[in-house]
Structure 1
């Protein structure tokens, strides 16, 4: 199972997440307590292996600004998590992941109107678009006709429930932010435990979490 750790805010956490086995890292450029500057993300990405997906998260931003930030920071993917239309999501220079807030089965109907590289299904929005720490009913994905789309499951995931979430929803990738935080900050032990659980491995000794 592929894993994305979202809401990265410093190089140390990014490098440890990669060491622990993360496949993708997410950087939030929209309004959020995890919002980061392009300058910081450029610095972090310069230290990461080329095979790691570096995803920029944007909400209702202009295409020109998204492209400028993506190029400057060295992003590999663009995640759009607002009311961006199907036509808006086309024509970017990088693969696009479209985010959706899912509350019920009918919310999934919108997904098939888009043609994107990936589709991030998140919990219903709170103050911000993501990072609420709340899960939606994963079982609604079991009989959903999503036309073979690459689903990235997000919303309320943590090391204790991610195995069940994967079994029920069968996503292409799982995405976590608040579920690997303690007091609003990324927790290396929780990141490691989440990645191991998602990939079906056993936790290691405590000292592997030391920065």
Structure 2
């Protein structure tokens, strides 16, 4: 069964929603502006997060020291790299923490996915490419024909919501789906939208 990640949690209320509804993963974003969270806030929220839910830390071109601090203090359970991190960066990160690593790909074409696969992260996360240089969170989908066959388990992001989720899962069968703006109303996580997408994925 496809797993579910709800990304961009910032409030205690958000944690209450997921503790009730039990997605497989949640995301704390340590980059950008809109959904960025401080280390202190992430620690506070992680202490009340149901231990059955894995916390993913989302980073864009961050320092190895900062990422390993959060990982080795169990503020996050999994590392997601959403910037221009390369194979050497990941090799150096593995020397200082044993947490699993997700590497995001901004999908331009099939080749962009195949090239990122060579970096040897534990999982790829396929997200929508943006001409404006955004590192994700565009709320837009990409052409699913760009997903190569036999790339292994991957997270699928980019414009997913309750209206397109069922069709997309049937079409490409991702290991996990990653939603953020698709479960928000006016920029805040919406319990009913989270509940609905979890029902759709698990039905």
Same fold (TM over 0.5): yes
For 2:171, the equivalent position in structure 1 comes to: 168
Secondary structure at 1:78 match in 2? strand
Which of 90, 94, 109 in structure 1 is aligned with 2:114? Answer: 109
Secondary structure at 1:119 match in 2? strand
Question: Are residues 1:183 and 2:189 paired?
Answer: no
Q: Structure 2 matches for 1:1-211, cutoff 5 A?
A: 1-72=2-73, 74-90=75-91, 91=94, 92-125=97-130, 126=132, 128-141=134-147, 143-146=148-151, 149-200=152-203
Query: Cα deviation per residue 1:146-183 (whole Å; 9 max; x = unaligned)?
Result: 1xx22000000001111111111111000000111111
Conserved in 2, the CA contact under 8 Å of 1:139 and 1:168?
no
Structure 1 regions of 5+ residues with no counterpart? Answer: 201-211
d(CA) in 2 for partners of 1:112, 1:100: 9
Under a length normalisation based on structure 1, what TM-score does the superposition of the two structures give? 0.87
d(CA) in 1 for partners of 2:29, 2:134: 11
Secondary structure at 1:136 match in 2? coil
d(CA) in 1 for partners of 2:71, 2:32: 17
Query: Offset of 1:127 from its aligned partner?
Result: 5.9
d(CA) in 2 for partners of 1:67, 1:168: 36
Cα RMSD after superposing both structures? 1.6
